[in-house]
Amino acid sequence: MTSTTSTRQDSALAGPTNPTHRYLAAGGLVVAAAGIGLQKWAGVDMPTVPPSVVVLAVAALVLVTARRGRWPRVLALVVLVAEALGFVGSGSITELAGSDGFDVTAATSVRLAGILLAAAFLIPRRTAERRGQGVVRGRA
């Protein structure tokens, strides 16, 4: 199956065909890593070099540099899901309430913005063309 059309339909995780989407997803991962660094700087208790910063940075680098196959996008999506679960599981979501000070709240907001940006360009979406419908409702 070397056909471009059949390859795109093989999997929803085949990866974005537009390189801009890949770069925006990688940017979201980097922003999330920066948010974690800002949280550390703001005084949140964590290791000197938080492992999630390294994992997010490596996933972003792989997403940008590896151009073939679906594994870079799958890797980035797995890292993103782990980061989102860590964000909720570590209690960082409660820091958005502002009770820990403006600096912690701002850093946590940056981290959440990175997670959401990466998710917007990594989570698979099916278009009307991929489903074979051809015409989107309301448009000719």
Domain-embedded: residue 140: no
Q: How would residue 3 be classed by pLDDT, with cut points 50, 70 and 90? A: very low
Domain-embedded: residue 134: no
Domain range enclosing 80: 17-124
Q: Kindly report the number of other CB atoms within 10 A of residue 64's CB atom.
A: 18
Domain-embedded: residue 129: no
Domain-embedded: residue 3: no
Distance of CA 43 to the CA centre of its chain: 25
Domain-embedded: residue 9: no
User: What pLDDT is recorded for position 139?
Assistant: 54
Domain-embedded: residue 107: yes
| Residue pLDDT, tens place only, 27-81 | 999 999 999 999 999 998 899 999 999 999 999 999 999 878 888 999 999 999 9
Domain-embedded: residue 99: yes
User: Phi/psi of residue 52, each to 5°?
Assistant: -65, -30
Domain count for the chain, please give it. Answer: 1
- Contact by Cβ (8 Å): 26, 80: no
| Residue pLDDT, tens place only, 66-101 | 878 888 999 999 999 999 999 999 888 888 888 889
